[in-house]
Amino acid sequence: SGTVRHCEFTGGRIDYEGEAAVLLSIRDVTERNRRERELQWERELNRTIQKALVESRTRETLERTVTDQLRHHGYALAWVGEQVGDEVVPRSVGGDSRYVDSIDRSLEGESADGEPAVLATRTGEAQFSGDLADLSSTAWTARAVQHGYRSGAAVPLVHNDISYGVLAVYHDQPD
């Protein structure tokens, strides 16, 4: 099927029914290697974000560093926004800002019922969209897919019950 599998093997000489033979043990470690790469990616991203938290002197620097690092670590788009009146206003964008600029970011508008950043801001709860192609078509999903995004997530930024905005990420792969 063309599938590539990663394997480890060990072997040794044995006697088998009075004859010299070689016994091999082959173990598929493809999934283990994938998990290890994901953990390494996560550790590296966490270190980078923690370093930004310690070294940033302003909120703007922190937000820019975080969105840039998320972009650098494989997200197609990352942005931080905050509620200003009845709208989510972008503060920092890592990646192409055309999608963010094109969507209705009104907390009462069309995107209020689905676009992850807008919905997370409105509800105060994290939002995850695993495959945008599977969602019912709306203006925001059509724009997201048009810009090449297949999944998205947004989390409110809150500290000591004070809201600082929302962090949204989008990926070109589902889930």
Phi then psi dihedrals of residue 81, to 5 deg: -130, 165
Q: What is the predicted pLDDT for the residue at 140? A: 87
Q: What is the predicted pLDDT for the residue at 113? A: 64
Alpha helices in 10-138 (DSSP H): 30-55, 59-72, 98-102, 116-123
Per-residue pLDDT of the chain (175 residues; tens, 9 = 90+): 899 999 999 999 999 999 999 999 999 999 999 999 999 989 999 999 999 999 999 999 999 999 999 999 999 999 999 999 999 999 999 999 999 999 989 998 666 567 999 999 999 999 999 898 888 778 888 899 999 999 999 999 998 999 999 999 999 999 8
CA–CA dist 23, 116 (Å, integer) = 54
CA–CA dist 60, 7 (Å, integer) = 46
Residue 170: which of 148, 156, 145, 152 has the closest Cα?
Answer: 152
